[in-house]
Amino acid sequence: PYVTKSLDDQRLVMIANPQYVAGPPPIREVDWLVKVDSDGVAAYADGSADLVGVGSFAASWMAYDHDFGPALHEGASLSVQYIGFDTTRPPFDDPRVRRAFALVLDRKRLVALAEGNGGAPASSIVPPALWPTGLPDTFDVNADTARRLLDEAGYANRRDLGVITVGDEGLGVGPAVAVWRHELGVQISVESRSFDDYLSALEREPTNVFTINWIADYPSPYALYSLLLLPTAASNYGGWQDQAFVDLLQRASSASSDSAQAAAYADVDAHVDDQVPVIPWSYPASWWLVRPGLRGLGNLTIGLLDFGRVSWDG
């Protein structure tokens, strides 16, 4: 909807594109501020910015502020934080072990304690804004079943698991690690690296358990399932290989009606829940200050802002 008019180290100026497929957008010029003198909230307060993303900590008090509260909006999350397993080597090559580690995590309680309003507990690697109709929002928690699964997998003596190495760069792993130690009696070592080194290690030799955040490249469940879990996907860091999943995802992506697609994706999600190549952890929250009178922004999301239909009242 817009083309570049100018760009420097302070701002990107965009002007309406008269050849845009949906017609020229209502606002003729958009200034995207790269830098401000203080911070985004101050820029909004002094009138030099009309749309500002704010962190969840700031949003927690802005919601009760006389001036900021009415302008504060929560965006629809298109991202997910998740815990992954290296499924190419023991012990997490066995789905029973992966399921055991998932079943002891009460994500509804742990995420609320760990992140406050910074995120909502995740029941799927697909954020709710992209859920097909009818996808269940369920959380299975059963420590007794988890311990039994470890016994059945040959790890009645938990020391046979060895020391489980957990990488913590993607999200704070403290709550999950504490539960795994207490409920399962496993030995865990937490490893920290710089983020660049962490990404390189994920591609070469991931830790037994790793964590990461992913934003949907486009608004479809396929964007998450395919890029994170298909055997050939570069971002399938855990190396999960599952032909049944491939077949189910193919069926979902080729479904010819909304109802058939919804049913097929429900089967995909149920299979992922059963095999647990990853544990969805949370859907990070995004918050925005929006100037009163600014319309047409739709679901404000990180990475996907469409200014083509944005307008001012009057």
Summarize the confidence of residues 131-139 as an average pLDDT: 85
How confident is the model at residue 76, as a pLDDT? 76
How confident is the model at residue 132, as a pLDDT? 86
Q: What six digits make up the tokens of 297?
A: 């922004």
Distances (CA, A) of 301 to 127, 129, 219: 12, 10, 11
Q: What HEC string does the chain produce? A: CEEEEEECCCEEEEEECCCCCCCCCCCCEEEEECCCCCCHHHHHHCCCCCEEEECHHHHHHHCCCCCCHHHEEEECCCEEEEEEECCCCCCCCCHHHHHHHHHCCCHHHHHHHHHHHHEEECCCCCCHHHCCCCCCCCCCCCHHHHHHHHHHCCCCCHHHHCEEEEECCCCCCHHHHHHHHHHHCCEEEEECCCHHHHHHHHHHCCCCEEEEEEECCCCCHHHHHHHHHCCCCCCCCCCCCCHHHHHHHHHHHCCCCHHHHHHHHHHHHHHHHHHCCEEEEEEECEEEEECCCEECCCCCCCCCCCCCCCEECC
pTM: 0.82
Which phi and psi (to 5°) does residue 242 adopt?
-150, 105
Of 123, 125, 111, the residue nearest 240 (C-alpha): 125
How confident is the model at residue 165, as a pLDDT? 95
How confident is the model at residue 199, as a pLDDT? 81
How confident is the model at residue 123, as a pLDDT? 95
* pLDDT top residue among 204 and 182: 182
Q: Minimum mean pLDDT among 48-57, 99-108, 147-156: which range?
A: 48-57
pLDDT tens profile 193-226: 887 788 888 888 899 999 988 988 888 999 999 9
pLDDT at 304 over 70: no
pLDDT at 286 over 90: no
